[in-house]
Amino acid sequence: MLRYLNSCSRGRGAWLLLAFTAFALEMAALYFQHVMMLKPCVMCIYERCALFGVMGAGLVGAIAPKTPLRWVAILVWLYSAWEGVRLSWEHTMIQLHPNPFVTCDFAARFPGWLPLDKWLPSVFVATGDCTEKLWTFLTLGMPQWLVVVFAAYLIVGVLVLIAQPFKPKRRDLFSR
């Protein structure tokens, strides 16, 4: 399996699949926000940023999968997935165990050199409350589903990282 994951990481298809899944989740988030009129909270916005990181890693990996740029993509993927797990877990705990002393901020804090909320307010401005459970599917809320999604990204990312030293088998029709 590790050899297979190594060979996948050296091709564009797997990286594009990674980017596409993150893109599909971003589109779902925008559908929830702009069509279903669910207001995203600050934690939701931060979780979106982590998804954008996973999507960016997929695009970087797809650019040059057989070069050292693949390592940059794997590291961005792992960092974004880890932050996504951390943020969505924190968001889940805020919703499951409401506490008046543990709340989220009123507005997302982006660095001065990257004011995403100013550049693209329809995507990065938080208008909701972190403690509100606006949507559920199979009894799990949105942050709980994001824990599952980011954990899956993280597990696959760790396996791909572990698989890097395992060289793929060369399959040649005429070799022994």
Kindly report the CATH number assigned to the domain that includes residue 48: 1.20.1550.10
Instruction: Work out how many domains the chain is built from and give that number.
Output: 1
- Find, among 160, 159, 153, the residue nearest to 22 by Cα: 153
Does 49 participate in catalysis according to the annotation? no
**Is residue 141 within 8 Å of residue 133, measured between CB atoms?**
yes
Does 44 participate in catalysis according to the annotation? yes
Tokens of 172: 């040649």
Query: What average pLDDT does the chain have?
Result: 83
Q: Is residue 169 part of a domain?
A: no
Q: Is residue 91 part of a domain?
A: yes
Please pick, among 3, 8, 12, 41, the residue that the annotation labels catalytic. 41
Q: Give percent of the chain above pLDDT 90.
A: 27
pTM over 0.85: no
Please pick, among 104, 170, 171, 176, the residue that the annotation labels catalytic. 104
User: pLDDT confidence of 15, banded at 50, 70, 90?
Assistant: confident
Q: Is residue 101 part of a domain?
A: yes
Give the mean pLDDT of 80-99: 88
pLDDT at residue 3 tops 80: no
- Find, among 155, 154, 133, 153, the residue nearest to 144 by Cα: 133
Does 48 participate in catalysis according to the annotation? yes
pLDDT at residue 99 tops 70: yes
